[in-house]
Amino acid sequence: MSQYLCHDFKTPRTDMSRRLPGSMRVVPIFFYAVALATAFFVFNDMRALQQAEQDRLAAIARKDEYIAAKTTLDSEKTTIDAELFRAEAVAKWVEGTRVLQPITVAIARAVPLETNITELNLERSADLPAQVSMLVRLNNSTLAEVAKIESSVNRLHYRSFSPSQAKQGDLIEFRSMLVWQEH
């Protein structure tokens, strides 16, 4: 008998499959290539994500700059609009004084040099622009100057409505409502 005791319990098996073909040796190579490509693409995506985040922050900063510039421009526009409104009001006032300038000149020319005009007040009503409320205070004058003022205003096609005169010493106060008369 032999010293080695060996029992072979294996039986030949007929249901076993055959070996894999040699072309299957490339499967692990493909696996490692795909794993490397995946790592490369993940790395590129991470870099692209960081770049996108930087671009987003730069876009937010630009947006904030544009908003600040727009706010500045809006405030300047508001200032310009307010100034335009005031300028239009001044232009309307100047346009309205064109009616009053001839009256003022006519009154000043009707009064002799020795008479002083201490106060001349002409007020136009916003509701009735054809009516002008007039107040003239004269110093060192007589009632003849008041008649001259009335006649010079009448030549400008204004009719004196409800005139009133008050005399206190050398001071004469003449009030009247001037109404525009068509020719």
Task: Establish if 8 belongs to a structural domain.
Answer: no
pLDDT at 89: 85
Tens digit of each residue's pLDDT (9 = 90 or more) over 97-143: 677 888 888 888 888 888 888 899 988 877 777 788 899 999 888 88
Alpha carbon distance 163, 51 (integer Å): 86
| Cβ(122)–Cβ(98) below 8 Å | no
Number of domains in the chain: 1
Residue 88's CATH number: 3.30.1360.100
Compute CA distances 55 → 41, 49, 70, whole Å.
Answer: 20, 10, 22
Task: Establish if 151 belongs to a structural domain.
Answer: yes
Q: Which amino acid is at 38?
A: T
pLDDT band at 1 (very low <50, low <70, confident <90, very high): low
Alpha carbon distance 104, 106 (integer Å): 5
Task: Establish if 16 belongs to a structural domain.
Answer: no
Tens digit of each residue's pLDDT (9 = 90 or more) over 40-83: 999 999 999 999 999 999 999 999 999 999 999 999 999 999 99
Its pTM stands at 0.49
Please check the confidence at residue 13 and state whether its pLDDT lies above 80: no
Domain range for 176 is 29-183
Task: Establish if 147 belongs to a structural domain.
Answer: yes
Task: Establish if 169 belongs to a structural domain.
Answer: yes
